[in-house]
Amino acid sequence: MVIAGSEGAGRKIRGKVILQRERCKGCGFCVEFCPTHVLEMDKGLNNKGYHTPMVVSAEACSGCDLCGLYCPDFAIFGIRIPRDSSEKQEIV
Amino acid sequence: MKADPKGVLTGIHFLDGDHACCEGALAAGCRVAFGYPITPSTEIVERMAMRLPLIGGAFIQMEDELAASIAIQGAVWGGRKSMTVSSGPGISLMMEHIGLAAMTETPCVFVNVQRAGPSTGLPTLPAQADMMQARWGSHGDYEIIAICPNSPQECFDLAIHAFNLAETYRVPVLVMMDESVGHMTERVVIPNAESIDVVPRRFTKSSPDTYLAYEPKDNRVPELAPVGEGYHFHVTGLTHDDRGYPAMTAEAQERLVRRLVEKIRNNANEMAMIEETQTEDAEVILVAYGITSRVVLRTLQLARKKGLKVGVFRPVIVWPFPERRLRELAEKTKVFVVPELNYGQVVLEVERLVGGKAKTILVPHGGGGLHDPEDLLRVVEEALR
Amino acid sequence: MNEHVNPVERFLRMDRMPHIWCPGCGIGIVVNCFTRALVQSGVDVDKVAVVSGIGCTGRIAGYIKLDSFHTTHGRPLPFATGLKVGNPDLKVTVFSGEGDLVSIGGNHLIHAARRNTDIKVFCVNNFTYAMTGGQVGPTSPLHSIATTVPYGNYDMPFNLPFLAEATGAVYVARWTTYHVRQLTNAMVETLNKPGFCFVEIIAPCPTIYLRRNRLGDGLEAMRHYKQDSKIVPGANTRDVGMDLSGPIVVGKFVDKDRPTLLEAMNQEYGAKLGKEYVPFPTGVQR
């Protein structure tokens, strides 16, 4: 499933989150500590039976990679996208 | 490979066994050692502390034997040859790490200058009561090599051999001295470096992409990789697979531990070091190792003077025990007399191998002194009656 | 398929994933910070060795794709000492739990610190012996519940930064797994600092310590770390002891310099022996 990001909206840096859902064990750290509240916990479950995060505010992502630092299961990380790139958010 | 002359104190010396052992280690290429003081082994580390700084090495006294016994393994993985020394109480502390060295196949040398035990025992007096501990002291199934010098000269020569065996089989090797050999001062001839053969570390020629840390190679021994060169290997005391990764299954256990045991047991006859004296026609054979192997030579002399057909079988490498030769001798010998400075350890192995084909007589001794050769003669005479 | 790879994977043995740590366990966060620090510090990563003891944190060695050594319980420090002396060019790091490093390994801790062995120690403190099911540990707070103190812990816990400073560590810091940037920074600093560096990392153990002590799950612990921690750089380590739910003082408390074990040996022996002494490589560039 792919969620489209917005087109720049006047902000200097954009970022995107790459999530590998099947690694996630639902601890909730990324949702909690994302400084711009990009994520929320999904009501659905992954194959392991955990609630995983989902991107709810893609345009708010700055690519700071705090989610990557906080994830104990190496299931999510953030990258910065140059302003003129057309990359979109990805969930695998 | 020849010995590095920097570590070879060529010449004719008057040294005790402890000092000679240190020189043997240096000749073998040991430049980094760790230890802790304990009678009667302390002189070995004291000499290390004095000699190593002058030849580019280092001796570090650790906080206890547990630390010393694993620090040497860190140094080995760092690429060095390393050794530690101790006696009874310290060797008991080191047992866990002897098992670690066996499990991780870390080539290193442990010297036990045996003293009377158990517990604090008689710190300044000899015994040979750690022989079974040497083989079985750590938990689980594994094999080590144990070698028993009986003179200061042999402490030098066999220390080198111990390092060579360790590198060949990637196993901890125990040099089982005892206090009388350690504190006995005799002539020690140290040859030129060119006449000393040392076995270098068996580093792999494979690239990091194909190298498997615990894949059995020649002689069922895996090759080592140099640390810090991008091999990114993993070493663990957990049961592991050929990659060195923990593998918690019975199959992995069988594959690994069977090999650890068999790589030594199956090479017992190949690596055997035996000294036989007048065994060709012997009706009674004295089986002795370490210092006792010198005592029995006097008994042999006295017996032969009386016309008794006596011989001496001396395993120099006691573990693995030279099974084939002893079994051969059991076919044609009437009695095996086994004097040991303990209440019966290696005799159990002799008895097992003799298999009832001959009589086995233990001559025990609690340690603290040596057997009287004439007492042994009486046992021999009694046995022949 | 995206071509971006999680930066942690470069340093992970991906053929061993997923790891064994529980949901909400903080050890994975320590791995993240370390892998970022490896890159940021500019060290030659092939020269970095990872040594660990036994326990949940000890499993780090098995997952990190560097030369790594999973040693015996309580003994990573003397192994690391031997490794560094045997090969001073290596950057030797130690990852282990507080039980491993401070209880069974306590003797080795005080001596490695005393002699300023040039190793970097990352002590993950989750207040319990988690791997074996939650026994009391040397830092378990008073009144906490553990299987071997089922009616409440009556033993005073260690104050680890105080202990490390008292025994001679030249770098002492405490962070929690909430303080990911500061922890990463601390790791970068220690990788480039000679001497015995000790970083205590408070981490959640949701399955055992938190659950048995009714302290919530990993997320609640992380919220507690965020809300109740105070960053006090240079705090007096006497005052940073912890209890069950009180404030957590974090920060870099000690950052000083003195000769490492090998430097000190060279200095002493060099002075006494002069030309006769062959200086031992120290691996230190000052």
Residue B191 and residue B226 in one domain: no
Chain B: residue nearest C276 by CA?
B54
C83/B77 CB distance under 8 A: yes
Cα–Cα distance, C4 to C9 (Å, whole number) = 11
Domain range enclosing C34? 22-276
Please say whether the beta carbons of C123 and C101 come within 8 A: yes
| Omega of the bond leading into B320 within 30 degrees of 0 (cis) | yes
Per-residue confidence (pLDDT) for residue C246, from 0 to 100: 81
Residues 141 through 200 of chain C touching chain A, CB cutoff 8 Å: 178, 180-181, 184
B58/C85 CB distance under 8 A: yes
Residue B136 and residue B256 in one domain: no
| Residue C173 buriedness (CB in 10 A; 0-12 / 13-18 / 19+) | buried
C1/A92 CB distance under 8 A: yes
Count: domains in chain B: 3
Residue B179 and residue B280 in one domain: no
- Taking residues C191-199, report their average pLDDT: 98
Over chain C, what is the mean pLDDT? Answer: 97
Residue B280 and residue B256 in one domain: no
Whether residue B341 is contained in a domain is answered as yes
Instruction: Name all chains with 3 or more CB-CB pairs below 8 Å to chain C.
Output: A, B
Whether residue C117 is contained in a domain is answered as yes
Confidence at A84, pLDDT banded by 50, 70, 90: low
* CB-based contact, A29 to chain C, within 8 Å: yes
Q: Which residue reads 């080191």 in tokens?
A: B94
CATH number of the domain bearing residue C133:
3.40.50.970
Whether residue C6 is contained in a domain is answered as no
C4/A32 CB distance under 8 A: no
Whether residue C7 is contained in a domain is answered as no
Per the structure block, which two tokens stand in for C262?
Answer: 């090998």
Whether residue C127 is contained in a domain is answered as yes
Per-residue confidence (pLDDT) for residue B142, from 0 to 100: 98
List chain B residues with pLDDT less than 50: none
Whether residue B107 is contained in a domain is answered as yes
Q: Using the CB atoms, write b or e for B5-35: b if 16+ within 10 Å.
A: eebbbbeebebbbbbbbbbbbbbbbbbbbbb
Does residue A9 carry a pLDDT above 70? no
Q: Which residue reads 């929690």 in tokens?
A: C176
Whether residue C9 is contained in a domain is answered as no
Per-residue confidence (pLDDT) for residue A87, from 0 to 100: 64
Residue B119 CA neighbour count, 13 Å, CB half: 0
Q: Which residue reads 């065994």 in tokens?
A: B279
C184/A32 CB distance under 8 A: no
Cα–Cα distance, C53 to C61 (Å, whole number) = 9
Tens digits of residue pLDDT in C3-13: 799 999 999 99
Question: Which residues on chain B are in Cβ contact (under 8 Å) with C82?
Answer: 32, 34, 70-76, 78, 82
Whether residue B250 is contained in a domain is answered as yes
User: How far is C-alpha B313 from the chain's CA centre?
Assistant: 18
C-alpha distance from C136 to closest chain A C-alpha (Å): 24
Count: domains in chain C: 1
Does residue A2 carry a pLDDT above 70? no
Confidence at A88, pLDDT banded by 50, 70, 90: low
Inter-chain contacts counted by CB atoms under 8 A, chains A and C = 79
Per-residue confidence (pLDDT) for residue C194, from 0 to 100: 98
Chain B: residue nearest C106 by CA?
B63
Per-residue confidence (pLDDT) for residue A1, from 0 to 100: 35
Can chain C be said to touch chain B, i.e. do they have 3 or more Cβ pairs within 8 angstroms? yes
Domain range enclosing B139? 5-195
Per-residue confidence (pLDDT) for residue C245, from 0 to 100: 77
C87/B227 CB distance under 8 A: yes
Tens digits of residue pLDDT in C29-73: 999 999 999 999 999 999 999 999 999 999 999 999 999 999 999
Domains of chain A by range and CATH? 24-91 (3.30.70.20)
Q: Which residues are B366's β-sheet partners?
A: none
Instruction: Give CA angle at B219 (B213, B224), nearest 5°.
Output: 25
pTM: 0.96
* CB-based contact, C219 to chain A, within 8 Å: yes
Whether residue B202 is contained in a domain is answered as no
- Taking residues C145-152, report their average pLDDT: 98
Chain B: residue nearest C20 by CA?
B246
Chain B: residue nearest C89 by CA?
B228
* CB-based contact, C25 to chain A, within 8 Å: yes
Residue B188 and residue B253 in one domain: no
Whether residue B205 is contained in a domain is answered as no
Over chain A, what is the mean pLDDT? Answer: 85
| Residue C240 buriedness (CB in 10 A; 0-12 / 13-18 / 19+) | buried
Can chain A be said to touch chain C, i.e. do they have 3 or more Cβ pairs within 8 angstroms? yes
Residue B107 and residue B253 in one domain: no
- Taking residues C207-221, report their average pLDDT: 97
Query: Which of C171, C178, C232, C167 is closest to C201 using CA atoms?
Result: C178
Per-residue confidence (pLDDT) for residue A85, from 0 to 100: 66
* CB-based contact, C52 to chain B, within 8 Å: no
Does residue A11 carry a pLDDT above 70? no
Query: Which of C211, C17, C201, C68 is closest to C133 using CA atoms?
Result: C211
Q: Which amino acid is at B130?
A: D
Whether residue C252 is contained in a domain is answered as yes
| Residue B341 buriedness (CB in 10 A; 0-12 / 13-18 / 19+) | buried
Does residue A7 carry a pLDDT above 50? no
Return all residues near A49 (Cβ < 8 A) that are at least 6 apart. Answer: none
pLDDT exceeding 90 applies to what percent of chain B? 99
* CB-based contact, A25 to chain C, within 8 Å: yes
Per the structure block, which two tokens stand in for C194?
Answer: 């000679």
Whether residue C16 is contained in a domain is answered as no
* CB-based contact, C271 to chain A, within 8 Å: no
Tens digits of residue pLDDT in B107-121: 999 999 999 999 999
Neighbours of B344 (CB within 10 A): 14
Per-residue confidence (pLDDT) for residue C244, from 0 to 100: 79
Cα–Cα distance, B68 to B63 (Å, whole number) = 8
Whether residue C282 is contained in a domain is answered as no
Per-residue confidence (pLDDT) for residue C286, from 0 to 100: 84
Residue B184 and residue B225 in one domain: no
CATH number of the domain bearing residue B21:
3.40.50.970
Per-residue confidence (pLDDT) for residue A92, from 0 to 100: 57
Does residue C276 carry a pLDDT above 60? yes
* CB-based contact, C17 to chain A, within 8 Å: yes
Per-residue confidence (pLDDT) for residue A4, from 0 to 100: 32
- At residue C67, the 3 state secondary structure works out as strand
Confidence at C213, pLDDT banded by 50, 70, 90: very high
Helix residue spans in chain C (DSSP H): 27-41, 60-63, 76-86, 98, 106-114, 160-166, 180-191, 211-212, 218-228, 261-273
Tens digits of residue pLDDT in C18-40: 999 999 999 999 999 999 999 99
Residue B301 and residue B328 in one domain: yes
Cα–Cα distance, C74 to B188 (Å, whole number) = 41
Per the structure block, which two tokens stand in for C141?
Answer: 């707070």
Whether residue B144 is contained in a domain is answered as yes
